[in-house]
Structure 1
Amino acid sequence: MQLRTMYKNWSGLKGGYILAFVFFLQANAFSQNIIIPVETQHSALVLQTNSNNNLNIVYLGAKLSDKKEYEAITAQYKQTSEYTGVSNAAYPASGSRNLFEPAITVTHADGNNSLDLQYVRHETKKLDENQSLLTVTLKDPVYDLEVRLFYKTYFKEDVTEQWSEIKHNEKGNVVLHKFASAALYLKAESYWLRQYHGDWAKEMQPEESRLTHGIKTLDSKLGTRTDLFQAPVFMVSLDKPATEEEGTVLYGALEWSGNFRIELELDNQDNLRLLAGVNNHASPYTLKPAEVFTTPAFLSVLSFRGKGGASRQLHAWARNYKLLDGKGDRLTLLNNWESTYFDFNETKLKALLKDTKALGVDLFLLDDGWFANKYPRNNDDAGLGDWQENKTKLPNGIASLVSEAQANDVKFGIWIEPEMVSPRSELYEKHPDWVVKQPNRKEYYFRNQLVLDLSNPQVQQFVFNTVDNLFIKNPKLAYIKWDCNAVVYNAYSAHLTNQSHFYLQYVQGLYAVLQKIRKKYPTVPMMLCSGGGGRVDYAALQYFTEFWPSDNTDPLERIFMQWEYSYFYPAISSANHVTDWGKQPIKFRTDVAMMGKLGFDIVVSKLQEKELRFCQDALKTYNTIKPIIWQGEQYRLQDPVSNAVAAVLYLNEQKTSGVIFNYLVNNRYGAGSERPIRLKGLDPKKRYRLKELNLYPGTTSTIDADKSYTGEFLMTIGYNPDVKAERASVVLELKAE
């Protein structure tokens, strides 16, 4: 306290000598190294100051019961000389002693590029019985620049969120060239990275490889829809590739909907440093004196029970703390897109509303094509931005459809893509300065459209008004599908004077709009759609109840995609629709879509009588089991890559009820469930019965529903769902006696 008072009293004096003297006193005051454990139920991140008053990470691993023993960890490593004393820095800076990739790089007001961050103080606040927040303050001893590191822990879920704040009081602006959210440092024999790449209709394609020396970078520079080619989620296994239930594995995910950058650097001592944050590509940030720059959060969960253990912890955290209404309900729906595409009118839609009622879902969703008059939205090359009902298609407006939905005892939802604009639109003609485009270059389109400049407050208000006006005119509107199909080409804002701020301020503008919408309409369900999983992350999912994993709804493909998404996102957040994609029968398609939030995108009137009856019965069954799917613990039993049969179990917290999905994913001759599939997570002493659900009309089950098994038997020996070509999809209910 005395040193901080001295600093405050002397801070007005000229030069860096006073600051340097104060930090000299502090270094002597802290000559005994300070240990700061950041603990959750099972794991610990341990920070420690060294003799130079730098703050380092000395441990990331299983929590020790005796906190004093954290002090003994460093001495147990007899690695080669480290040279700098900051290679394991909690927030490595550049331009001083650091020889590795920095988390922060700055140019000071006087043009100097060096930075040395030293420990000043830390404070821990217990937010509630499960959440704690550690704040650590670091300062440069010469320049008046401060970084605050935040570690928010969720004890029961083993999740930690990290972010940073950067500010200064120099006599002029400081330029931030790099500004990571978090740094981690790990020690192991080897490291195995599981990362994800993709494209439209090919989302979440996994790759696993051993990390070698140097830097592995996962990043995006797309501006919007930034997950299209590379996902901001990953996992690192320590010592060997983790399996579903065995091995040590770290999950990481950046909570940011814009350009991201994740770096994994294996150093000369075989230690791994991990940096995650906003991509600094084309984005140096000019920080004014006293301005606070806050980075987005990076979340991590460390599991010692394999990939499955990590995912179950992350799912619980998401439902409890991050996903909008994560413990609430969801609406099943019928979407018109694959029934009509752009070719519809009021008469067709009213017939589909009757189909919605006949099918038995909760809501009808009107997709793209309902708006614009001067440049009608009859295909995807016109109309975006002109959010008035098309008078030819909808002479009585959306209101008449909402009323018709009410008359059929269903709800009504609508599609919008409010961040985008078509070159052929009235909005573009009236406000060309609202469009992201270089003034002296030819326009280049993605899906025949451009991006609106959400760094501009006027554009933010326009996007908010687009949503707000829909609700003002149609108070009974019950659902929004929010699309985002374009990426940023020729990045330029007519509003901004500093173009290097564009990528940051676009995303901040998007969040400002979503916060305003949620303040006025806190409970309306909204789907986060981006031509598929182009924008799914936990920052966006604070505002959306669900996301659209992929436009590829082929059920066989979806088994693989949903498998990978499920490592990071709970089933309640995944919108899965039954469509006409793929060659599988309606039962297979419906069973796959039930592993999440179920919807339909089919022509109900063209279903055969048995198909319609199956769908109606399946919806009734789904309504009884959806609490287990949405809120239960997920156990992946057999993966679709190395097995002919894929199997997934959802089990309630009491271990008394579960649902098992089994799918044939190999069409080779004789493929099927030759061997039993072992269950996981059961009470070994309880007895369970297995009953087949979702039987197609006219078929009988081969599963003996009268027979019971102990949990021990089902986990040791297993069960056989009798999956084969003529029984390609089998859904089983698990009940304790």
Structure 2
Amino acid sequence: MAIIFDANRKIFTIHTKHTTYQMQADAKGYLLHLYYGVRVKGTMDYLLCYADHGFSGNPYAAGMDRTYSLDALPQEYPSLGTGDCRNIALNITSAVGTECCDPIFNSYTITKGKYSLQGLPAVWAADDEAETLEIVLKDDLTQVEIHLLYGVLEDADIITRSVVIKNTGTETITVKKALSACLDFVQGDYDAISFYGRHAMERNLERVPVGHGTYRIGSRRGSSSHQYNPGVILADRTATEEAGNCYGMLFMYSGNFVCEAERDQFNQTRFQMGLGDELFAYPVAAGAEFTTPEVIMTYSDQGFAKLSRQYHNCILNHVCKGRQVHTNRPILINSWEAAYFDFDGDTIVDLAKQAAELGIDMVVMDDGWFGKRNDDNSSLGDWFVNEKKLSGTLGQLIERVNAQGVKFGIWIEPEMVNEDSDLYREHPDWALTIPGRMPIRSRNQLLLDFSRKEVREEILKRICAILDQGNIEYIKWDMNRSMSDVYAGNVPYDYVLGLYDFLEKLTSRYPEILIEGCSGGGGRFDAGMMYYTPQIWCSDNTDAINRTRIQYGTSFFYPTAVVGSHVSAVPNHQTGRITSLNTRGVVAMAGTFGYEMNPALLSSEEKEEIRTQLATYRRHQELIREGDYYRLSDPFKEDVAAWMSVAKDQSQALVSVVRLSAEGNPFGTYVKLKGLDAECFYLEETTGKVYSGMALMQAGILLPMAVIEYEAYQFSFKKMQEAAALYDLLREKIGAEQRKVISIFGGSGSGKTTMAEILQQQFLADGIGCFIVHGDDYPHRIPKCNDQERELIYQKSGETGLNAYLGTPQEIEYDRINQVLAKFHVGDTEIELKKMGREDDEIWYEQTDLTGVQVLLLEWTHGGSEYLNGVDVSVYLDSTPEETKARRIRRGRDENAASAFIQLVLSLEAQKLEQQAKQADLIVGKDGRVYES
């Protein structure tokens, strides 16, 4: 069980896989917080310190005991009016105006499954994945029940918290402050880490010491805001990416919030989060209840990296909903930076044609398609298609786009209204305004009062009428101003609940449509919106260099799968900076990926580069979406931004690096990787180089020397899982006898060289001398000339003649290589080996000292040939011609690697290898497993 109650001591213990959370209802009825941290056994009530603290008051229930003070004891849910003069989580005004609530423990329940919240998004889980603890506190005088809810996802190391306030009396009360979670620490020296910003520069990390007094951030803007994200970390002063204690609180809510961290007079720290208490006063009628949004908590004793991965897992698997969450999202191109408001139907169709030519999946028609909207001063609220502008109906335009083989998406901003609109002229009272005052304008638009049901229903009806006009597969939901003109204390909360009600109805009616949230970019980038929109436009700033910092801060709580990130045109429309298409692509791949540009303005070379980018992203998109994310550098402090995604089974990894500065006479730059299997070898797929996992993590990789400013690099690593199994079998087969020849053979580009290098390193690590002989050194001609000879033979004798040439003594010096193997077997230590380069006349011979060498590895396409003598163990690497071609192209092995002639050569080789494989001792299958013949 994840939740345990000790009835004797009235101690509640919550265990997750790696953490323990504990609290106690003490003898006086107060719920005290005991512990949250690494998983422990036993009870932690011994940590409570009782002393006479002078001016700290004592509750009446303590009698004459001056050592009992709620001003000094750690509490689970501190309330105003109990003698605690620190920051409080609860403030309730009674019907007669008194501000005091004294909640005492009353009861509890433990149930299977995760609680849900009426009208609010919440973490979800299957019944066998979660448990719920509900603790009821009561204040008999004000006739209020405080229901503390704890959702426990044991395997995910997640604890969620919410509070339900029930008015069991006969008169209305007013909730003036109701936070969702509080943590009290009796010891420790902490930093608060938050993510501040502004429009177009969101989620910059700021780390400050929690000193005596209060550290407080939040939003009064009606949304979670660009200025402060509702995710905060409390960490040891010494905590780093990989070490130290850190506690996260993430508010699953899209409106006003507050987070407070306070160090008190006794060096204790209180950390709490919930609804903002400014612009808030919520009446709760007799018999009614009020629910606070959920806080998602997690703890790590291994620094920020582990904390982040726990949040990423929670959001991806227990917050985001819908069919699109774990599927490959469409790669889209948005019309905004391509055309802004200046477009018509033909513009969108032309964009679709360009998208289809490049291989992009979807075109999104952004702002400007409705009402009379040709700029941002009119028509919000008039959700009627401007058919004159589109030269036809929306349905006709969608059909024209789909006819290009491209999907269609559309932009909407349902929460807004312009004064210059038919909707406003008909219903000016629907805008959020203070009676008798002129409203505050922002972007020349007003906020519709979504706290009112009739407003939401009319806008929903209009939006649905749009969505029913054709095959719309994506919505970009925007929100381009903050809330002002709050006419009552319930409005900010009820507005957000109205927004959620709208989204719930919309997603239920259109489950196949992917919705991307947006609020001037990242102004509402929160877990509440992610419950309905599984991706959110990260920032209106698409500058690649700025984005490395924005996406860095975002990554502390949010997975790449929710990050909307696109390649835009240069000079960048926000910063004027020019970066390469490659750099923009590398940065945008740390998200859902897409484009913000006009392809018609691109050169043929740029278009080809985009096609390559698309192929790269599609090859790695599942890894990027589902893999473990690691920050490899701090772009606010270091000269590079570096990050990586690692598959859950450590089988593959994608590393991305962007240089943030350029210097004369530069020195070498190394990036250390994380999350790999330290005991295995990894192949870097582009270069074909092999590294041990431990080496990559301890020493890192050396970046290429910089040529231009803001260069970017990607490294794709594949774990050579089959190499370890192959090595174990080879050790068995060669036994303890000396001087064995092992032949590794397979199609060109099948990975023979890589496998031989890994085996050599493993032999050497075990103290067994090992040397590699490359069979590619033994054709009669250097490879380039040999390809020319092959083509001449093909031209003269056709496929039959070419087949008779490939892999036979006409092509290969079998006599020479057989002599080498024979000399090795009889114990010669000085053997002359042939060496070949890639250019004309690059052929030489050198004496090689094989003293101490016990194993000779021969890696070669034809290493299973009937003409080859002296092989003790033969190993075939299975691959198709298509796979070998792809590897050759990726590694740039030949200029003509993709030609039809080379494909023919590979096909003929494959036929020969199929026969040779039947005689192999061991076969490494395409499934990565090793089979004995």
Q: Same fold (TM over 0.5)?
A: yes
Say which of 541, 544, 548 aligns to 1:552: 541
Confirm or deny that 1:109 pairs with 2:92: no
Verify the 8 A CA contact 2:94 2:173 in the aligned structure 1: yes
**Equivalences for residues 276-425 of structure 1 within 5 A:** 276-325=273-322, 326-372=325-371, 376-425=372-421
State the one-letter code of the partner of 1:406. N
Confirm or deny that 1:70 pairs with 2:44: yes
CA–CA separation in structure 2 for the residues paired with 1:566 and 1:508: 27
Q: How far apart are 1:83 and its partner, in Å?
A: 5.1
Say which of 503, 506, 518 aligns to 1:514: 503
Say which of 714, 718, 742 aligns to 1:731: 714
Say which of 15, 34, 44 aligns to 1:39: 15
Confirm or deny that 1:266 pairs with 2:263: yes
CA–CA separation in structure 2 for the residues paired with 1:557 and 1:31: 55
Q: For residues 475-506 of structure 1, what are the alpha-carbon distances to aligned partners after superposition, in whole Å with 9 as ceiling and x for unaligned?
A: x11000000001122223xxxxxx22111111
**Equivalences for residues 565-644 of structure 1 within 5 A:** 565-580=554-569, 581=572, 582-644=577-639
Confirm or deny that 1:535 pairs with 2:524: yes
Q: Which residue of 1 aligns with 2:702?
A: 720
Verify the 8 A CA contact 1:664 1:723 in the aligned structure 2: no
**Range 714-723 or range 646-655, more displaced:** 714-723
State the one-letter code of the partner of 2:447. V
Q: How far apart are 1:79 and its partner, in Å?
A: 10
**Equivalences for residues 418-433 of structure 1 within 5 A:** 418-433=414-429
Q: How far apart are 1:308 and its partner, in Å?
A: 0.6
Q: How far apart are 1:314 and its partner, in Å?
A: 0.7
Q: How far apart are 1:88 and its partner, in Å?
A: 1.7
CA–CA separation in structure 1 for the residues paired with 2:307 and 2:177: 30
Once superposed, what is the RMSD of the aligned Cα atoms?
1.8
Q: Which residue of 2 aligns with 1:678?
A: 672
Structure 1 residues 425 and 207: alpha-carbon distance in aligned structure 2, compared to 1, 3 A threshold:
same
Q: Which residue of 2 aligns with 1:8?
A: none
Taking structure 1 as the reference length, the TM-score comes to 0.89
State the one-letter code of the partner of 2:182. A
Verify the 8 A CA contact 1:723 1:730 in the aligned structure 2: no
Verify the 8 A CA contact 1:684 1:710 in the aligned structure 2: yes
State the one-letter code of the partner of 1:251. G
**Range 451-460 or range 279-288, more displaced:** 279-288
Q: How far apart are 1:330 and its partner, in Å?
A: 1.1
Verify the 8 A CA contact 1:322 1:541 in the aligned structure 2: yes
Verify the 8 A CA contact 1:385 1:420 in the aligned structure 2: yes
Verify the 8 A CA contact 1:648 1:660 in the aligned structure 2: yes
Q: How far apart are 1:356 and its partner, in Å?
A: 1.3
Verify the 8 A CA contact 2:26 2:32 in the aligned structure 1: yes
Structure 1 residues 441 and 731: alpha-carbon distance in aligned structure 2, compared to 1, 3 A threshold:
same
Q: How far apart are 1:149 and its partner, in Å?
A: 0.2
CA–CA separation in structure 2 for the residues paired with 1:287 and 1:481: 36
State the one-letter code of the partner of 1:732. F
CA–CA separation in structure 2 for the residues paired with 1:439 and 1:143: 33
CA–CA separation in structure 2 for the residues paired with 1:421 and 1:273: 42
- SS of match in other structure, 2:408: strand
Q: How far apart are 1:153 and its partner, in Å?
A: 1.5
- SS of match in other structure, 1:516: helix
State the one-letter code of the partner of 1:169. T
CA–CA separation in structure 2 for the residues paired with 1:645 and 1:284: 47
Q: How far apart are 1:333 and its partner, in Å?
A: 0.0
CA–CA separation in structure 2 for the residues paired with 1:121 and 1:489: 41
Q: How far apart are 1:648 and its partner, in Å?
A: 0.8
Structure 1 residues 79 and 216: alpha-carbon distance in aligned structure 2, compared to 1, 3 A threshold:
farther
Q: Segments of 4+ in structure 1 off by > 4 A?
A: 77-84
Say which of 43, 48, 52 aligns to 2:24: 48
Q: How far apart are 1:129 and its partner, in Å?
A: 3.5
**Equivalences for residues 198-217 of structure 1 within 5 A:** 198-217=197-216
CA–CA separation in structure 1 for the residues paired with 2:34 and 2:199: 42
CA–CA separation in structure 2 for the residues paired with 1:407 and 1:349: 12
Q: For residues 261-295 of structure 1, what are the alpha-carbon distances to aligned partners after superposition, in whole Å with 9 as ceiling and x for unaligned?
A: 11112111111112211112122111111111111
**Equivalences for residues 108-257 of structure 1 within 5 A:** 108-127=94-113, 128-224=127-223, 226-238=224-236, 240-257=237-254
Q: Which residue of 2 aligns with 1:667?
A: 662
Q: Which residue of 1 aligns with 2:927?
A: none
Q: For residues 40-94 of structure 1, what are the alpha-carbon distances to aligned partners after superposition, in whole Å with 9 as ceiling and x for unaligned?
A: 1111221112221100101111111x2x34344436x999687544342211111
Structure 1 residues 193 and 670: alpha-carbon distance in aligned structure 2, compared to 1, 3 A threshold:
farther
Verify the 8 A CA contact 2:383 2:463 in the aligned structure 1: no
Verify the 8 A CA contact 2:192 2:261 in the aligned structure 1: no
CA–CA separation in structure 2 for the residues paired with 1:723 and 1:442: 60
CA–CA separation in structure 2 for the residues paired with 1:41 and 1:438: 51
Q: Which residue of 2 aligns with 1:448?
A: 444
Structure 1 residues 431 and 577: alpha-carbon distance in aligned structure 2, compared to 1, 3 A threshold:
same
Q: How far apart are 1:228 and its partner, in Å?
A: 2.2
Q: Which residue of 1 aligns with 2:693?
A: 711
Q: Which residue of 2 aligns with 1:15?
A: none
Number of aligned pairs? Answer: 680
Verify the 8 A CA contact 2:90 2:178 in the aligned structure 1: yes
Say which of 614, 623, 643 aligns to 1:648: 643
Determine what percentage of the aligned residue pairs are the same residue: 30
Greater gyration radius = 2
CA–CA separation in structure 2 for the residues paired with 1:274 and 1:305: 20
Verify the 8 A CA contact 1:60 1:185 in the aligned structure 2: no
CA–CA separation in structure 2 for the residues paired with 1:472 and 1:357: 25
Structure 1 residues 91 and 659: alpha-carbon distance in aligned structure 2, compared to 1, 3 A threshold:
same
Verify the 8 A CA contact 1:79 1:269 in the aligned structure 2: no
Q: How far apart are 1:466 and its partner, in Å?
A: 2.8
Q: How far apart are 1:641 and its partner, in Å?
A: 2.2
Runs (5+) with no aligned partner, structure 2: 1-5, 59-68, 114-126, 721-933
Which structure's relative contact order is higher, taking Cα pairs within 8 Å and 6+ residues apart?
1
CA–CA separation in structure 1 for the residues paired with 2:529 and 2:52: 42
CA–CA separation in structure 2 for the residues paired with 1:716 and 1:524: 45
Structure 1 residues 647 and 633: alpha-carbon distance in aligned structure 2, compared to 1, 3 A threshold:
same
CA–CA separation in structure 1 for the residues paired with 2:447 and 2:356: 37
Q: For residues 229-258 of structure 1, what are the alpha-carbon distances to aligned partners after superposition, in whole Å with 9 as ceiling and x for unaligned?
A: 2221111112x2421111111111111111
Q: How far apart are 1:574 and its partner, in Å?
A: 0.3
- SS of match in other structure, 1:204: strand
State the one-letter code of the partner of 2:443. R
Verify the 8 A CA contact 2:176 2:282 in the aligned structure 1: yes
CA–CA separation in structure 2 for the residues paired with 1:291 and 1:407: 54
Verify the 8 A CA contact 2:34 2:45 in the aligned structure 1: no
Q: How far apart are 1:156 and its partner, in Å?
A: 1.9
Verify the 8 A CA contact 1:418 1:466 in the aligned structure 2: no
Verify the 8 A CA contact 1:324 1:542 in the aligned structure 2: yes
Q: How far apart are 1:155 and its partner, in Å?
A: 1.4
**Range 209-218 or range 555-564, more displaced:** 209-218
Q: For residues 97-134 of structure 1, what are the alpha-carbon distances to aligned partners after superposition, in whole Å with 9 as ceiling and x for unaligned?
A: 22222211112234433211111122222323431111
Q: How far apart are 1:707 and its partner, in Å?
A: 2.5
Q: How far apart are 1:400 and its partner, in Å?
A: 1.6
- SS of match in other structure, 2:160: strand
**Range 393-402 or range 541-550, more displaced:** 393-402
